[in-house]
């Protein structure tokens, strides 16, 4: 139904056009990326351009998305030519859960930044998806420090690791780094295709 794009590096963006064309789904991204996708044949009514700080409700899907800062880069590989891919982003997902709202923070590819504390104070996410791979994003030590900044978070799912040899961060190194900071999160490591409930 919906693709949420954090940025346009190939490991996040390469499948976007084929999936969107095959399914007719909506795509939420920064305006620069929406303009690019429109130039590649994606219908304008399927593109939802939004920027950092903006919230988009998806009432028919039962949740809302707030775009957040991510400290990274973004470029589009257009047949070997590198194009500007707008600013990278993270997401806050607001999912109604009875009388409450269950909130998830997907950091996207990012370095640690101090305003993660503000994201926790404003949106009170209980679950966070944090990159731990190092080299292109923060590594285990920085992700552990980010977990401490995100004081409302109870569970962290590590992301962006184990796909390239230079990504040396692992869930085990992340768990070890957590023992050195003031964070009381549980680490939930997922396998591709796995679902976590609860």
Which of 52-56, 153-157, 192-196 is predicted least confidently? 192-196
Query: How many Å from the N-terminal Cα to the C-terminal Cα in the chain?
Result: 23
The Cα–Cα gap between 111 and 182 comes to 19
Give the tens place of pLDDT for each residue, 85-142: 999 999 999 999 999 999 999 999 999 999 999 999 999 999 999 999 999 999 999 9
Q: Which pLDDT value is given to residue 196?
A: 84
Identify the helix (H) or strand (E) that includes residue 48.
strand 47-49
Which percentage of the chain shows pLDDT scores above 90?
Answer: 96
With CA atoms as reference, report the closest residue to 43 among 65, 20, 67. 20
List the one residue out of 77, 72, 65 whose CA is nearest residue 7: 72
| Residue positions counted in the chain | 198
Q: CB under 8 Å to 100, separation ≥6 — which residues? A: none
Residues 57-94 pLDDT 10s: 999 999 999 999 999 999 999 999 999 999 999 999 99
């Amino acid at each position: 139904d919906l693709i949420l794009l954090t940025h346009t590096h190939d490991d996040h963006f390469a499948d976007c056009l084929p999936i969107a064309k095959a399914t007719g789904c909506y795509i939420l991204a920064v305006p620069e990326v929406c303009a690019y996708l429109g130039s590649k044949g994606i219908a304008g009514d399927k593109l939802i351009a939004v920027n950092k700080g903006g919230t988009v409700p998806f009432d028919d899907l039962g949740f809302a998305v707030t775009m957040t800062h991510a400290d990274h880069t973004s470029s589009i590989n257009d047949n070997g030519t590198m194009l500007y891919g707008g600013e990278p982003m993270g997401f806050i997902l607001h999912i109604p859960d009875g009388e409450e709202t269950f909130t998830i923070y997907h950091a996207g590819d990012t370095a640690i930044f101090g305003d993660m504390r503000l994201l926790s104070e404003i949106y009170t996410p209980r679950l966070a998806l944090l990159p731990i791979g190092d080299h292109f994003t923060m590594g285990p030590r920085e992700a552990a420090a980010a977990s401490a900044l995100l004081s409302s978070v109870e569970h962290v799912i590590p992301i962006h690791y184990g796909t390239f040899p230079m990504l040396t961060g692992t869930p085990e190194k992340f768990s070890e780094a957590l023992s050195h900071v003031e964070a009381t999160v549980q680490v939930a490591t997922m396998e591709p295709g796995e679902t976590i409930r609860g």
